[in-house]
Amino acid sequence: MKIVVGLGNVGTQYARTRHNVGWLVLDELARRHAPAGQGWRKDTHAELIELRLGTEKVLLVRPQTMMNLSGRAVQPLLSYYRLEPDALLVVQDDLDSPFGLLRLRRGGRHGGQNGLRDIIARLGTEAFDRLKIGISRPPAGRSPADWVLSRWADDEQATLQQLVTLGASAAETWAMHGLQEAQGRYNSTDLRPEPIKPAPIKPEPIKPVLRGEVTPEAEQVQSEDRAAKGDG
């Protein structure tokens, strides 16, 4: 059995914010694989859906504790199902990755992501897998706290949908084939637009000057010299 946790905050006001991109990935997984008519069921601190991916049973988890207490929802589930941390994938937003980039990794520090911080503290280990969805650092003048709770801009929607779709596929591969296979397929994903390069400047061709030939430029200089001497 595997557990896929999407990090996010509870409430409609947070539904389309950068901090809730983990929930968007879980919603896409549920859309693809949940049996017809099956919705999210309430647990003590989370909403859950059980899926079957190939031969693997997968539990999708949306913590209902608010972001900073996400570990309160995750740790009891691992204990109840007697699972080791390597059976856990946490889908999170990542300030340190550019928007358009996704990466899978095992372990590492929380990087200031408070949901991840709480999960690490309650599990007592960093040795679980993460699917990081890049949201970029905030622009000048905006704090990280304000940025993660801001809504996606209109011109980001197409890239966001691609990221969510690929994130769900990466989570599927992780559940069915393991971390290394998922890394090999998706860690090179980069949906950032290509920078616009300036058009190359084509040099003017150099016209050869034959011996004894006066170029227009030289003729103009000679004409100016004659005028200055009164020879015009």
Residues designated as active site: 19
- Contacts with 170 (C-beta within 8 Å, 6 or more apart), sequence order: 102, 104, 131, 182, 185, 186, 189
Question: d(Cα 50, Cα 46) in Å, to the nearest integer?
Answer: 13
Q: Where do we find the tokens 């740790």?
A: 75
Which residue, among 164, 165, 184, has the nearest Cα to 174 in the 3D structure? 184
Rounded to whole angstroms, how far apart are CA atoms 100 and 177? 24
Distance from C-alpha of 71 to C-alpha of 56, rounded to nearest angstrom? 24
* Number of CB atoms found within 10 A of residue 10's CB: 16
Q: Is 214 exposed, middle or buried (0-12, 13-18, 19+ CB in 10 A)?
A: exposed
Question: What CA–CA distance (Å, rounded) separates 50 from 30?
Answer: 9
What is the Cα–Cα distance from 182 to 132, expressed in whole angstroms? 13
Indicate the SS3 state at residue 151. strand
CA 159 to mean position of chain CA atoms:
9
